[in-house]
Amino acid sequence: MANHKSAQKRIRSNETKKIRNKYQHKTTRNAVRKLRAITVKGEAQELFPAVSSMLDKLAKRNVIHKNKASNLKSGLAVLINKM
CATH number for the domain that contains residue 24: 1.20.58.110
For residues 44 and 77, what is the distance between their CA atoms, to the nearest angstrom? Answer: 10
pLDDT in tens, 6-45: 999 999 999 999 999 999 999 999 999 999 999 999 999 9
User: What domain range is 39 assigned to?
Assistant: 5-82
What is this structure's pTM?
0.85
* % helix, strand, coil for the chain, step of 5: 85, 0, 15
> Any residues with CB less than 8 A from the CB of 65 and at least 6 apart, and which?
59
pLDDT (0 to 100) of residue 3: 86
CA-CA distance, 23 to 17, in Å (whole number)? 10
- Total domains, the chain: 1
